[in-house]
Amino acid sequence: MLYVSPSKVARYFYHECERHLVFQSASKDTRERLDIPSVMFESNPVTAAIMEGGLMWEERVVTDMLSGQVLMGEGDGNRISDRKLTEKETLEALRNPLHRFIYQATFVLPESFYKRYGIDLSQVTLPSCHPDLIERLEVDGRTIFRIIDVKSSEALKISHKVQVVIYALMLNAILEEYKIDADVDLTHGGVWLYEQVEPEWFEMSFIFPHVEQFFSSTLTDVVEKQIDELAWHLDYRCEWCPFYDYCKEKAVESSHISLLPYLTRHGASFLREKGLPLSLPEMVSFIQDKENRKLLSKSTSFRNRLLRLPAQLQAITEGRLISYGSFSAEMPKGENIRIILTAQRDSLSGKLFAVALLRIGGEDLFGSRRDIFQAIAQSPEEADIISQNFIRHTYSVLMTIHEYNQRQTEWLEQKTVQTYVTDNYEWNNILGMLEEYLLVPEFAEMVLSLLFHFQCELLADSDDHPQDYFPFPVVVLTSVVSRLFALPAQVAYRLEDLSRYLRPESGEPFIYEPKDYLSFRLTNVMKSDLIHLVWNHQESDKLEWIQSELSRRLWAAESIIRGIRAQAKNENEESILFAWPQKFSFTTSLNLQYPVFSRLAFMARYESILGYLEVRNKRTKHRDEREDAGTTLCLTNIEENLFRLQNVSIAEEIQKGGSWLLSEDYFQGELAHNGFYDYKYKDKFFVPKNASLYYASIQNIWQDDYGWLVQLEITGDRKFTLDTGRSYTLNTRFTDWTTERVLKTIRSLDEEHHWCSHFLTAPASWASSLTSYSVNDSELEIMLEKSGFTSSQKEAFRHLTEQKLTLLWGPPGTGKTHFIAKALLLLIEQAKVSARPLKILVSAFSHAAIENCLLKLLSLRGKQEISIVKYGQNQTENAKGRIDEANDQVVKKLMASNDSCIIGATLYQTQKAFDKKFIRNEFDVVVLDEASQIRVPESLLAMSHVNTEGRLLIVGDHYQLPPIIKGKYTEVKENGSLYDSIFKMLVDLDLNKNYTKQLSDNFRMNETLCNYPASRIYGPAYTAFNQDIGSQQILLKAYGQRPEWIDHVLDPAYPLVLCVTENALEGQENVIEAGMVADLTYELRNHLEHSSGATFKDDEQGDQLFWQEGLFIISPHHAQIRAIRRKIEERGLRPPFFVGTVDKMQGQESQVAIISYGVADPELALQEGQFIYSMNRLNVAITRARSKTILFLSRQLLKPTLEILANESFAEGLHFMLQLEQYCQGDTVIHQYGDIEFSCYRKNSIIQP
Quote the mean pLDDT of the chain. 92
Of 1146, 1217, 1157, 1139, which Cα lies nearest the Cα of 1184?
Answer: 1146
What's the farthest any 2 CA atoms get from each other in the chain? 100
Q: Are 87 and 93 in contact (CB under 8 A)?
A: no
Q: Are 813 and 1005 in contact (CB under 8 A)?
A: yes
pLDDT one-digit tens code per residue, 903-917: 999 999 999 999 988
Q: Is 685 exposed, middle or buried (0-12, 13-18, 19+ CB in 10 A)?
A: exposed
Quick check: bond before 937 cis, omega within 30? no
- Cα–Cα distances in Å, from 742 out to 101, 321, 467, 813, 970? 59, 47, 13, 32, 21
Give the span between the Cα atoms of 434 and 473, in whole angstroms. 15
Antiparallel, parallel or unpaired: β 2-3 and 1023-1024: unpaired
State the pLDDT at residue 975: 65
As a whole number of Å, the CA-based R_g of the chain is: 33
What is the full DSSP assignment across 952-974? EEEEE-TTSPPP---S--PPBGG
Residue 266 backbone zone (phi > 0: left; psi -120 to 50: alpha; other: beta)? alpha
How many CB atoms neighbour CB 683 within 10 A? 14
State the pLDDT at residue 774: 60
Residues contacting residue 1031 through CB under 8 Å, at least 6 positions apart: 1006, 1007, 1245, 1247, 1248, 1249
What is the full DSSP assignment across 228-251? GGS----SGGGGG-TTHHHHHHHH
Looking at the chain, the number of H-run helices and the number of E-run strands are 50, 39
pLDDT one-digit tens code per residue, 1078-1123: 999 999 999 999 877 788 999 999 999 999 999 999 999 888 999 9
Give the span between the Cα atoms of 233 and 19, in whole angstroms. 9
Domains, the chain, in order of start with CATH, read 2-12+41-223 (3.90.320), 233-306 (no CATH), 337-567 (no CATH), 618-732 (2.40.30), 755-999 (3.40.50.300), 1008-1243 (3.40.50.300)
- Cα–Cα distances in Å, from 375 out to 368, 387, 529, 551, 708? 20, 8, 17, 11, 62
CA 119 to chain CA mean position, Å: 41
Give the span between the Cα atoms of 693 and 671, in whole angstroms. 10
Rounded to 5 degrees, φ, ψ at 737 are -90, -5
DSSP letter at 279?
Answer: B
Give the span between the Cα atoms of 644 and 655, in whole angstroms. 16
pLDDT one-digit tens code per residue, 583-616: 999 988 888 999 999 999 999 999 999 999 999 9
Q: Are 693 and 719 in contact (CB under 8 A)?
A: yes
State the pLDDT at residue 768: 80
Q: Are 1187 and 1090 in contact (CB under 8 A)?
A: no
Give the span between the Cα atoms of 143 and 185, in whole angstroms. 10
Q: Which long-range contacts (CB under 8 A, 24 or more apart) does 173-181 make?
A: 173/109, 173/110, 173/112, 173/113, 173/116, 174/91, 174/94, 174/107, 174/108, 174/109, 174/110, 175/94, 175/145, 176/112, 177/110, 177/112, 178/91, 178/94, 178/95, 178/110, 180/91, 180/94, 180/95, 181/143
Give the span between the Cα atoms of 180 and 266, in whole angstroms. 43
State the pLDDT at residue 616: 92
Rounded to 5 degrees, φ, ψ at 937 are -60, -45
Give the span between the Cα atoms of 98 and 1070, in whole angstroms. 58
State the pLDDT at residue 972: 65
Give the span between the Cα atoms of 256 and 279, in whole angstroms. 4
pTM over 0.85: yes
How many CB atoms neighbour CB 866 within 10 A? 19
Residues of the chain predicted below pLDDT 50: none
| Element spanning 1198, H or E | helix 1195-1198
State the pLDDT at residue 1238: 93
State the pLDDT at residue 231: 93
State the pLDDT at residue 1106: 94
